[in-house]
Amino acid sequence: MKRGITALAVITGLMLSFALYEALVVAPTERTMGDVQRIFYYHVPSAWTAFLLFLINFVCSVIFLIRRNTKADILALVAAEVGVVFCTVVLVTGPIWARPVWGIWWAPGDIRLTTTLVLWLIYVSYLVLRRFSTSGQTAVVAAVVATFGALDVPLVYFSIWFFRTQHPSPVIGDGGSLDPRMWVVLLINWAAFLCLAGLASWTRYLLEIAKREVEEAEALESLYEGSR
């Protein structure tokens, strides 16, 4: 187990270093925005990684609601925690990119920005609930919140297809105009971010299992002491 984590950590470090070089040196400079556009290689992969983690949270939450599977509950919690980190990166890099391009940090009322912020708030609320609620039904309530919260993910992703927004039009998919060289660098960075997310999730999963085992042992010890 430790060797696996160590190996993944090394791979992640190498991937992130290679991805940084590709984003800052190899990728061509965008003609209208210049070098500030290079934040694209962090902004977009962070969003995709967050979406994937929230999808995992959704699937695991549904499994937990159906089967009351403890491992599914732990995976849902871990995916939400790491997903919030990557979603935070999206919300931070977006305004940094927008300021020199749009002339403003944030466009109030923009559907893509607003739904992304709502998505972040939903999962932060989910984590607050998991952290501070002492109810025996906390995991169930949190799973319900996560199930409904996941509905915001497709709204965030498809918003620029169906609404007029300040956010740029799609450069990926139908109607996209992304340079093939940029595509390669984008995918390299996403692969690096997936490695980082996997490393963080794996480590956090093991810590959560250890924490619950300690809590269970303490509960059994208290029960034993109380029965004496």
Q: Pick the closest to residue 190 from 36, 90, 44 (CA basis).
A: 44
Q: Per the structure block, which two tokens stand in for 153?
A: 């993910």
Instruction: Confirm if 214 and 38 have CB atoms less than 8 A apart.
Output: no
pLDDT at 178: 78
E strand intervals along 38-154: none
Tokens encoding 37: 């556009």
pLDDT of residue 218: 75
Long-range contacts of 4-8, Cβ-Cβ distance < 8 Å, separation of 24 or more: 4/202, 5/199, 5/202, 5/203, 8/195, 8/198, 8/199, 8/202
- pLDDT reported for residue 109: 65
Residue 54: what pLDDT? Answer: 96
For residues 16 and 189, give the distance between their C-alpha atoms in angstroms, rounded to a whole number: 7
pLDDT of residue 173: 54
Of the candidates 76, 74, 71, 42, the one whose C-alpha atom is nearest the C-alpha of residue 59 is 76
Q: What does pLDDT average to in each consecutive run of 10 residues of the chain (228 residues)?
A: 88 97 91 85 94 96 93 96 97 86 71 86 95 86 91 77 60 64 93 97 95 82 67
Q: Answer for the pair 169, 160: CB distance below 8 angstroms, yes or no.
A: yes
**pLDDT computed for residue 197 by the predictor:** 97
**13 vs 183: CA distance, rounded Å:** 21
Q: What backbone torsions phi and psi does residue 103 show, to the nearest 5 degrees?
A: 90, 0
Task: Note the pLDDT of residue 98.
Answer: 75
Q: Which of 31, 10, 27 is nearest to 19 (CA)?
A: 27
Burial 34-59 (b: 16+ CB within 10 A, else e): eeebbbbbbbbbbbbbbbbbbebbbb
**Do 86 and 50 touch, CB atoms closer than 8 A?**
yes
Residue reference for tokens 């093991």: 206
Cα 5 to Cα 108: distance, rounded to the nearest angstrom: 42
24 with 218: CB under 8 angstroms? no
